[in-house]
Chains A and B, each alone.
Chain A
Amino acid sequence: MLLGAAALSPSIVHAATSWADTERAARGQTVYFNGWAGSERINAYLQWAAGELQRDFGVKLQHVKISDAADVVKRVRAEKQAGRQATEGTVDLIWINGENFAAMKRDALLSAPFAQTLPNFQWVDTAGKPTTLVDFSVPTDGLESPWGMAQLTFFADAKRLPQLPQSMAELLALARSQPGRITYPRPPNFHGTTFIKQALIEHAPDVKALAQPVTAAALEAQAAPLWRFLDALHLHLWRGGKQFPNNSAAVRQMMADGELLLALTFNPNEAANEIAAKRLSATVQSWQFAKGTIGNTHFVAIPYNAPSKAGAQVVANFLLSSAAQARKADIDVWGDPTVLDVARLPAADRARFQSAPHAGQVRQSAPALSEPHASWVDALEKEWTRRYGV
């Protein structure tokens, strides 16, 4: 009980009467949270959150398991086209970022801004982690609340790959020396697209242009060196670069089997997780390129027609609490890095974030590079497909 009170103390101190109203309205509501469910750890974490929310706030959290957030965007859009009003939807909260968020924001599929009104938002590290406010160069405008951090991370078995490449150029050199042992998922798979974006950032003549919406001229000017790089790289990739795996999980499996030298992920703790689950050998290690890799934030957002808007806000606020964030960051639970500024937290809350190092963890974290503007995704994917997809 005391611990619970300590966790809630910031929210109590700063709670405006309106937040108390929200909590009151939320009691008894069911929140349908549509979230990617490809990982049993994530699902188990959400089950834990459901228990806490039920006990402390009387909110029933229902995890709607999906395989692709774009499906949910599509569903909400179809509901809008079918004339559904403000409380007549099927989705209360959605796990989202990037182009899916950009699409929902553009088409006005989201409810009123709410993120900054959440009592726990004050602890978010908006200065140190600017991507908590700008999602793929699109301002969030309070339409989504940050949940966790992600950064492009590579992992490999040290037994097979003692010398870790530290840039795309070094990766190309490695591919030349060991042909057929490297690949990346086929875009538009988002890990594959991220790999392309990382190469783009490392090769673009003017990185600042990537923060602006894409134009035909900008694509031509900025991406020309990227295509030259990929032309060279593909010759030495797995299956001659004529074929690409469907997703990062397939890459990971092939790495684990020894068919590939390295795999990639957005969760810096994924390899540590997999080692703990006995699916990767303990000699696997994770790293990020020395000059940095693409990083972003994932969020939760409330659709315009969510029936349980108050409940959804209570859930979003709970997910930002130090208790929930610390548990999520724990490698034995999920290992998803926190969006909070841990140094600014009260001592008791700060203590929750300390944990022993795990095998396979990133030892030396590198700077997080900003995502290009969300509009680049589609343009890059189309051009990639035209060049290499057929």
Chain B
Amino acid sequence: MPVVKVFGPLLLALIAALPIGAALWAVGAQMLHAAAWQALWADPQTWRAWGMTLWTGLASTALAWITVAHVLASGFIRQQLGRWLSHLPALLATPHAAMAIGLVLWLSPSGWALRLVSPGLTGFDAPPPWFTTQDPWGLGLILALWLKEVPFLLWVAATQMQREDLRRRWQAEYALAQTLGRTPAQAFAQIIWPQLAPRLRWPLLAVLAYGLTVVDMALIIGPASPPTLAVLAWQWLSDADLLTQSQGVAAAGWLTGTVLVAGVLMVVALRVVASKRPFASRGKRPQSQASDRDGLLSQKTPTWLLHFCRRLPPQPNAMWTIILTAYIAVWSALTVGSVSGVWPFPQVWPELWTLNAWQQVASSAHTVWTTLGLGVASASVCVLWSVAWLELTPRRWQQALQPWFLLPLVLPSVLWVVGLYSLALHTRLEGQWLGLSLAHAVMVLPYVLLALVPAYQAVDPRQAALVASLGHGRSVYMWRVKWPLLQRAIASAWAVGFAVSVAQYLPTLYVGAGRFATVTTEAVTLAAGAQRSLMSAYAALQMLLPIAAFALAAWLGRPRRFEKIAPMKATS
């Protein structure tokens, strides 16, 4: 019996850790070329590109963090969070590339924004020479990243706030703080946020890593002279010249180091910011310790958040409205773009309309099946593995190994592709369905785990005892009590995993040896020929599949308790 108890978790750990470790090993081995590093340092673009990477990655992450705090605060206080967050799946399902394409359709000098006011207000009959997209300051890229990362962080925050145990406790504490004379804003900033923020550390790291290493968005809307380092790394990696390729591997390694250092600094910075105690220093420490289980009321509260909370506007949260409006604008631009033919500036509507692009999409319907198959397989494998892992292994193991499994989230995708591909070559799995779905699974796993862990932590162990005391076995507890309670979390983890699989481009191309066409590989290869209509149509298709998955998850996860996240006013 003890043998089984150790052997099972060990086997599970090995199944997931081995591919990750082997991929890292394979890419690490390729990094040991001195000449590649010399070429990287000698390249005139490297340092400026790296500077651009740091600026766009850090700025977008900081903005997203502040925005999320703001939205959560005002949503929580107004008890509207559940309603607002019900839009999340559609926002989450919008692919990064689609967001960038849509923004360009609006913001470029020939974009919709200027067409609406030209030539009437501006006098322009040709697009002005403005740097509104691919701007040398990286502002467009920061905007696009911000718009994509805020929903992701909100979603992770929601997985925490929907935990039954946290939800009850936080509502009680929030109510209590108000009875102790705190305003709702103060109560949120002092009680809820300090407990929530540390739980978002990993997702925030993922956001930071993504911002520092993104390729597809940066290609579309990012600066071009020089581009960000991730784009350069990708261009070098796909060069025909061997030395340039190793230079790309070195650049990916450098990026990885950057992500790790920036991640550590960020965690430290969050601690430092959190350690400022505006209220405590003014001697306003609360008298009562009744609710102060973890010393909550003396907890650290960032000043800027208090500042935010105090100045909440009376109308619905402006920030959230801006984000939603941006998404709606992007979707409508993609829709019109997908049926546009000739469309010269400054006409507001296309001169010629055409369904060519959608006919093309329809003719490659088989790619939808490949995409579905890969997404279902990798998401299901990851959910099964995660459930087994969380059920069978001791908490200590889980905590120790979690960072390892989350690595695919924080390391640059260009790096993973090199590692996974090299691994697939050596195991002869390249170009095989099995190899490709495993590669997808490696990329999907961290997201599924992130979605499931909070739900598992929320399970009340007393339920098991209760079921046992009623004379039922463990299987009754699992099938009748625990899993039904986790049903919603499992379904939503599965949908997120599916969406992540759909979005994979580089692993699909390499590990699949190009033999598996998915909607994403189609979209990106067609983007190489960049027809506005076709790109828009594929971006829309890329979005529909994950939306379908989220809808399925929502249906499977009924009944939803989402509406109740917002706390009750202190009426009880």
Residues of A at the B interface (CB closer than 8 Å) are 32, 34, 36-40, 62, 64-68, 70-75, 77-79, 82, 90-91, 99-100, 103, 180-181, 186, 188, 238-239, 242-247, 249-250, 252-254, 256-259, 277-281, 378, 385-386, 388-390
Of all chain B residues, the one with the shortest Cβ separation from A39 is: B529
Q: Is the interface of B mostly helix, strand, loop or mixed?
A: loop
Q: How many residues of B contact A (CB 8 A)?
A: 59
User: Whole-angstrom distance from the CB of A366 to the nearest CB of chain B?
Assistant: 25
Q: How far is the CA of A239 from the CA of B223 in the complex (A)?
A: 12
Chain B 505-527 interface residues, beta-carbon cutoff 8 Å to A: 509-510, 513-515, 517, 521-522, 524-527
User: Whole-angstrom distance from the CB of B431 to the nearest CB of chain A?
Assistant: 5
B360 touches A75 (CB 8 A): no
A258 touches B345 (CB 8 A): yes
Q: Does B356 contact A (CB under 8 A)?
A: yes
B521 touches A65 (CB 8 A): yes
B514 touches A34 (CB 8 A): yes
Can you list 9 A-B contacts with CB-CB less than 8 angstroms, sorted by A residue number?
A37-B526, A40-B534, A64-B513, A74-B238, A74-B245, A90-B514, A181-B126, A378-B241, A385-B45
A73 touches B240 (CB 8 A): yes
Q: How far is the CA of A99 from the CA of B524 in the complex (A)?
A: 23
Of all chain B residues, the one with the shortest Cβ separation from A178 is: B126
User: Whole-angstrom distance from the CB of A36 to the nearest CB of chain B?
Assistant: 7
B425 touches A258 (CB 8 A): no
Q: A243-B131, A250-B530 are in contact. List 14 more A-B contacts (CB 8 A).
A: A67-B528, A75-B513, A75-B514, A77-B242, A90-B430, A90-B431, A99-B240, A243-B134, A252-B530, A258-B110, A277-B354, A278-B352, A278-B356, A390-B44
CB-CB under 8 A from B41, the residues of chain A are none
Given contacts A71-B238, A259-B109, contact A246 B219 (CB under 8 A): yes
Q: How far is the CA of A246 from the CA of B351 in the complex (A)?
A: 26
User: Whole-angstrom distance from the CB of A197 to the nearest CB of chain B?
Assistant: 16
Of the residues A75, A238, A243, contact of B510 by C-beta under 8 Å: A75
A103 touches B240 (CB 8 A): yes
A-contact bits for B220-258, CB 8 A (1 contact / 0 none):
000111100000000101111110010000000000000
Q: How far is the CA of A77 from the CA of B425 in the complex (A)?
A: 11
Most buried by A among B352, B422, B514, B515: B514
CB-CB under 8 A from B422, the residues of chain A are 78, 82
B528 touches A36 (CB 8 A): yes
User: Whole-angstrom distance from the CB of B368 to the nearest CB of chain A?
Assistant: 15
A278 touches B354 (CB 8 A): yes
B356 touches A67 (CB 8 A): no
Q: Does B277 contact A (CB under 8 A)?
A: no
Q: Does B127 contact A (CB under 8 A)?
A: yes
Residues of B at the A interface (CB closer than 8 Å) are 44-45, 48, 109-110, 126-127, 129, 131, 134, 136, 219, 223-226, 235, 237-242, 245, 341-345, 351-352, 354, 356, 360, 421-422, 425-426, 430-431, 509-510, 513-515, 517, 521-522, 524-534
User: Whole-angstrom distance from the CB of B128 to the nearest CB of chain A?
Assistant: 9
Of the residues A79, A90, A277, A385, contact of B44 by C-beta under 8 Å: A385
| 7 nearest A-B pairs in the assembled complex, by CB-CB distance | A38-B529, A249-B530, A278-B341, A38-B528, A257-B110, A90-B513, A67-B528
Q: How far is the CA of A254 from the CA of B127 in the complex (A)?
A: 9
Most buried by B among A246, A250, A254: A246
Given contacts A40-B526, A68-B528, A258-B126, contact A103 B241 (CB under 8 A): yes
Of all chain A residues, the one with the shortest Cβ separation from B45 is: A390
User: Whole-angstrom distance from the CB of A123 to the nearest CB of chain B?
Assistant: 30
Given contacts A65-B522, A259-B126, contact A279 B514 (CB under 8 A): no
Q: How far is the CA of A317 from the CA of B235 in the complex (A)?
A: 34
Most buried by B among A242, A259, A281: A259
B226 touches A390 (CB 8 A): yes
Most buried by A among B126, B237, B360: B126
User: Whole-angstrom distance from the CB of A246 to the nearest CB of chain B?
Assistant: 6
Of the residues A66, A244, A250, A280, contact of B514 by C-beta under 8 Å: A66
User: Whole-angstrom distance from the CB of B337 to the nearest CB of chain A?
Assistant: 11
Of the residues A239, A252, A378, contact of B129 by C-beta under 8 Å: A239
Q: How far is the CA of A386 from the CA of B341 in the complex (A)?
A: 38
Given contacts A103-B240, A246-B219, A249-B531, contact A82 B426 (CB under 8 A): yes
CB-CB under 8 A from B356, the residues of chain A are 40, 277-278
CB-CB under 8 A from B430, the residues of chain A are 90
Q: How far is the CA of A389 from the CA of B219 in the complex (A)?
A: 15
Of all chain A residues, the one with the shortest Cβ separation from B352 is: A278
User: Whole-angstrom distance from the CB of B536 to the nearest CB of chain A?
Assistant: 12
Q: How far is the CA of A281 from the CA of B241 in the complex (A)?
A: 40
CB-CB under 8 A from A77, the residues of chain B are 242
CB-CB under 8 A from A256, the residues of chain B are 342-344
Q: How far is the CA of A67 from the CA of B223 in the complex (A)?
A: 21
Q: How far is the CA of A36 from the CA of B529 in the complex (A)?
A: 9
User: Whole-angstrom distance from the CB of A257 to the nearest CB of chain B?
Assistant: 4
Of the residues B134, B509, B532, contact of A253 by C-beta under 8 Å: B532
CB-CB under 8 A from B109, the residues of chain A are 259
CB-CB under 8 A from A278, the residues of chain B are 341-342, 352, 354, 356
A390 touches B525 (CB 8 A): no
Given contacts A259-B110, A277-B354, A277-B356, contact A243 B514 (CB under 8 A): no
Of all chain B residues, the one with the shortest Cβ separation from A248 is: B530
Of the residues A246, A252, A279, contact of B342 by C-beta under 8 Å: A279
CB-CB under 8 A from A186, the residues of chain B are 224-225
Given contacts A38-B528, A249-B531, contact A65 B514 (CB under 8 A): yes
B528 touches A249 (CB 8 A): yes
User: Whole-angstrom distance from the CB of B519 to the nearest CB of chain A?
Assistant: 12
Of all chain B residues, the one with the shortest Cβ separation from A90 is: B513
Q: How far is the CA of A250 from the CA of B430 in the complex (A)?
A: 33
A253 touches B431 (CB 8 A): no
Q: How far is the CA of A32 from the CA of B430 in the complex (A)?
A: 14
Q: How far is the CA of A298 from the CA of B528 in the complex (A)?
A: 18
User: Whole-angstrom distance from the CB of B94 to the nearest CB of chain A?
Assistant: 22
Q: How far is the CA of A371 from the CA of B227 in the complex (A)?
A: 29
B238 touches A68 (CB 8 A): yes
B126 touches A72 (CB 8 A): no
B360 touches A281 (CB 8 A): no
CB-CB under 8 A from A65, the residues of chain B are 514, 517, 521-522, 525
Of all chain B residues, the one with the shortest Cβ separation from A44 is: B363
Most buried by B among A73, A99, A390: A390
CB-CB under 8 A from B426, the residues of chain A are 82
User: Whole-angstrom distance from the CB of A78 to the nearest CB of chain B?
Assistant: 6
CB-CB under 8 A from A280, the residues of chain B are 342
A188 touches B239 (CB 8 A): yes
CB-CB under 8 A from B517, the residues of chain A are 65
A79 touches B425 (CB 8 A): yes
Of all chain A residues, the one with the shortest Cβ separation from B49 is: A390
Q: How far is the CA of A361 from the CA of B249 in the complex (A)?
A: 44
A67 touches B136 (CB 8 A): no
CB-CB under 8 A from A72, the residues of chain B are 514
CB-CB under 8 A from B129, the residues of chain A are 180, 238-239
